[in-house]
Chains A and B, each alone.
Chain A
């Protein structure tokens, strides 16, 4: 993307005014997003994203400049801009770059650009028609197919020079069911860190059907009850509870500046002993996986919590300086316009000791949350929320009538102790996570779990 000599020059300029470290990040991405609504392929968004970001550290102070002007002049101006922000010229040093190749584990079989777009519109159409055909009460289907092929190059003044190519494919279907007076919606959006071969394993029609069935279930559902109760949260996207309740609070972004409830708690029992939680960017073909992060550090399998004990944080390059702990390969950014920071990859609660049927049977009265939506958290206080998209009342150990979605809220510290049963059907679900370095693909996951007590934001 950028010749080695020019890379060396850019780093040399960037670090010439008092910085102790500089890094160049370059990317070129082709992203295709196809939108289907009202029975028609409506738009194709076909975008080339290209740009460069140059970062300089002075201790834990950072300076960043980015540009979409990737001509030689544009890049040199970008390097000069960041150097100018750091301070006065102090003399240049030569930077030796030693390119190395990372062993490939995420093998793409069919790159998006090698597949005709018509094949992609057909996949989307099959999914959306699948949703429409489920029931005549499905009044609207809104579907998106997307793929991205992102080439990145990272070089820094420590001599690191690495490239990676990150490919992702996803299908996201929203269905609306209507009985004439009321609308209800359903959603399903599976994806993977793979090429178009994703659809060898995932049948588009079944994706649409699942979204449609959720909308229909909600159409017959009453309001969720309000108050604190026992909740069983299903596998897959249910893992959003850990992502919000704990994951963000374990990112060096907040831990490193003391703005996290989890700061200073390494080695402490912070969760029920049944909880083991892992952030694993190495899962083959995972939605949140990659070979190297956006700082050039290889992805790792990072055990965050083991049997309830806090083992590690998610630590990017700056976080590593702040905390004095090794990097874990989690420095991510949406694109070159953002400075990277510590982010989650594929984050999940591991299988536990409890049988799934025992978890449901143990609940006298409570909620079974089958499908979840997104959420948010304040890492400082640990107060979090996330949405239930499909829920059922549990009565006397049996799953009964459906109830409409509601927010579940709590504080991380409390909820981690309240996860008192952990089942054995670990599965992940795909989402987009927003934070200071933009929106990045992350997997969440867990087996069926029981939360002894949590506030359910239904209606009274």
Chain B
């Protein structure tokens, strides 16, 4: 059944039930991947999954219901289910469905949609990566896994006010995890790329050199340290705390950025954007989950908080306008506030210059278990880490088995310098792009 057919079934059923305000949200994903392990192809998969959510206003409240069974009877059943759910809510605001404006400008995405590779192409990439990894070092051993894959997502949204939108985006990736063993201990390194066509031997080399560099990690003494966070770990940390920019969390008292607009919340070296059209991202998004056009905005500009993120309901309640950040985690999730690409503006310092500026300290290349170790309500974090010692402004040996602890809101203010090389990882509707950062005074727990 096409989206137009789904829409017709649901709109007809809604009208028959006497409803006047409703919307239909559809999302379908196709994912394919190939894995290789220990020199050989290992697994191959192909899947399509998705569903439809119907929302309607009943007596001033929005009820919803969703299904993956795209058949007439199942779709029609969504209407009474959503109506019954609406009756049980306590919401106090008038429900809002987006009224399309004559001047609405949905920006065109700036990237071509990558074609989905064939299963054979993915198998070839995963296997070549295996070969390159084993060729890169004699220490490479069993457990070395490589993968290549692609995802295509189609989102459609229509409402009773005449809105009708559709967008399809895709991304490709290849991933390598090199496992090595020097006879004393195992070590691992990972690398990822989104260019399947390019010379992937570089990805294999990166994973192997990371694994080699990690061998023989020494313990660290407990104390306060200056640290340089690698670009990858800046991304991980900002991603773990992305909820603090939600206007709804602020409204509910769950973000300490509440009421801090136009005040200094970070070091002047930090500028952070929310960008649905981040140039490198093949999964750009021209409209949000309510149908509002999306656009690039500064969240933090030279340390000053410029805005939080809003959907229609939160904007109305707080006297703001929607920033086009209504999102749904899956087709079935209620509308909440989500970011697109959180992009930190690069500074001027190369990584070596950041080390030189730090002098003595730690270069943090791993933060693990952030889902458990970060509390976005308080900003507190305590996280298992690994990386390298930096001595006399130069990278020294690997270190491991320690934690870094602090408070994210304090960390924002203690950023001393921002690196010049931005890393992005793989694409997605939600992602982060960031350079490395020099931060002062982080508590490290290791050896007593």
Contact = CB atoms under 8 A, between A and B. Distances in A.
B119 A85 contact: yes
Given A62-B42, A383-B400, A42 B91 contact: yes
A257 B37 CA distance: 8
A17 to B, nearest CB: 13
Interface string B76-118: 0000011011001111100000000000000000000000000
Interface in A109-163: 117-118, 121, 139-140, 142
Q: B48, B66, B402, B443: which has the most chain A beta carbons within 10 Å?
A: B48
Contacts of B384: 376, 383-385, 407, 409, 457
Contact of A37 (B64, B71, B179, B252): B252
Chain A interface main SS type: strand
A258 interface: yes
A385 B252 contact: no
Interface string B429-448: 00000000000000111111
A374 to B, nearest CB: 4
Nearest to A336: B49
A381 B66 contact: no
Given A228-B447, A406-B405, A407-B384, A44 B85 contact: yes
Contacts of A37: 252
Interface string A401-432: 00011110111000000000000000000000
Contact of A61 (B43, B82, B91, B373): B43
A261 B64 CA distance: 47
A373 interface: yes
B17 interface: no
Contacts of B375: 185, 405
Interface string A224-238: 101111000000000
Contacts of B222: 226-227, 460
A456 interface: yes
Interface string B3-43: 00000000000000000000000000001000001101111
A65 B403 contact: no
A353 B256 CA distance: 47
A81 B372 CA distance: 39
Contact of B69 (A48, A66, A373): A48
B43 A63 contact: yes
A307 interface: no
A227 B402 CA distance: 9
B254 interface: yes
A42 B334 CA distance: 10
Contacts of B119: 85
A37 B48 CA distance: 34
Nearest to A37: B252
A341 to B, nearest CB: 10
Contacts of B71: 71
B352 interface: no
Interface in A214-248: 224, 226-229
B63 interface: yes
Given A176-B253, A228-B448, A380-B179, A458 B382 contact: yes
28 contacts: A40-B90, A41-B90, A42-B334, A44-B64, A47-B51, A47-B65, A49-B68, A50-B67, A62-B44, A64-B47, A85-B46, A224-B382, A226-B403, A226-B444, A227-B447, A257-B142, A378-B188, A381-B187, A383-B368, A384-B384, A385-B383, A385-B403, A404-B380, A406-B445, A407-B403, A409-B401, A411-B401, A460-B444
Interface of A: 28, 35, 37-51, 53, 60-71, 81-82, 85, 117-118, 121, 139-140, 142, 176, 178, 182-185, 224, 226-229, 254, 257-259, 261, 336-337, 339, 373-376, 378, 380-381, 383-387, 404-407, 409-411, 455-460
